[in-house]
């Protein structure tokens, strides 16, 4: 029998979770970008991810990203963020079901 110290186990699990979160953030960013409509490319190229101690944040500094996501009186919503979140959530659930 091999005894593994609990602090070693928690350290390994914590590192694996950080890696999973980072990978999930990159996947989410790629998915959002692929769903972003392109006219000039400015909106698609403005998506940025910031990894931090709490996970990550994805943002877009263009003044019209919210109007494209949620729609306006002139345009239907695209929902590139909301649909991407649903897809990533499903992927994560499928991948972690076997754990």
Q: Per-residue pLDDT for the chain (99 aa), expressed as one digit of tens each?
A: 677 777 777 788 888 888 888 888 999 999 999 999 999 999 999 999 999 888 899 999 999 999 999 999 999 999 999 999 999 888 888 777 666
The domain locations on the chain are 6-96
pLDDT at 29: 96
**Residue closest to 30 by CA, chosen among 12, 9, 17, 49:** 49
Contact 69, 82 (CB under 8 A): yes
**Residue closest to 43 by CA, chosen among 62, 15, 19:** 62
Contact 69, 78 (CB under 8 A): yes
pLDDT at 82: 96
């Amino acid at each position: 029998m091999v005894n593994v110290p609990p602090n070693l186990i928690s350290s390994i699990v914590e590192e694996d979770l950080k890696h999973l979160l980072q990978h999930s953030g990159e996947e989410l960013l790629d998915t959002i970008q692929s769903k972003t409509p392109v006219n000039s490319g400015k909106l698609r190229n403005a998506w940025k991810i910031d990894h931090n101690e709490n996970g990550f944040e994805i943002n877009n500094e263009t003044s019209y990203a919210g109007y494209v996501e949620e729609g306006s009186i002139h345009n239907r919503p695209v929902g590139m963020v909301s649909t991407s979140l649903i897809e990533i959530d499903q992927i994560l659930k499928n991948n972690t079901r076997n754990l």
